[in-house]
């Protein structure tokens, strides 16, 4: 969930940006991405559009190489565990995650 994200530069598309950010932030290339919904997020101080993308990844066949100055930590969790974690410890996640999970049909 939200494994990589970035800000679109002038002349760049959402599609270009996500491929670049996935490679830069978590070291994955060649993913078969599916475009999901686009949403407007208002976190008070921060307001932005988010374009969601999905990819299935076999965690036993990939090597994650995080960009330490961009990614604090990562872990593999099921959808069910993510929902449970969001309900029990919302401070662990960005403020908009609950609404995004609802939009994506996960919560």
Is 56 domain-assigned?
A: yes
90: domain CATH number?
3.90.79.10
Kindly list the distances between the CA atom of residue 96 and the CA atoms of 24, 26, 48, 63, 85, in Å, as whole numbers in the listed order. 23, 21, 11, 28, 14
Specify the pTM.
0.75
Is 55 domain-assigned?
A: yes
> Is there a contact between 50 and 99 (Cβ–Cβ < 8 Å)?
no
Domain range for 25 is: 14-103
| pLDDT by residue, tens only, the chain of 107 residues | 467 888 889 999 999 999 999 999 989 988 999 998 999 988 888 899 989 898 888 889 988 888 888 788 888 888 899 899 999 988 888 777 888 888 888 88
Count the domains in the chain.
Answer: 1
């Amino acid at each position: 969930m939200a494994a990589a994200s970035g800000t679109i530069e002038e002349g760049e598309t959402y599609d270009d940006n996500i491929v670049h950010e996935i490679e830069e932030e978590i070291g994955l290339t060649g993913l078969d991405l599916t475009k999901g919904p686009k949403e407007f997020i208002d976190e008070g101080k921060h307001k932005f559009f988010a374009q969601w993308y999905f990819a299935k990844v076999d965690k036993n066949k990939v090597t994650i190489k995080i960009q330490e100055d961009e990614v604090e930590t990562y872990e593999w969790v099921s959808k069910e565990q993510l929902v449970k974690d969001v309900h029990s410890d919302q401070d662990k996640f960005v403020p908009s995650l609950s609404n995004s999970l609802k939009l994506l049909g996960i919560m």
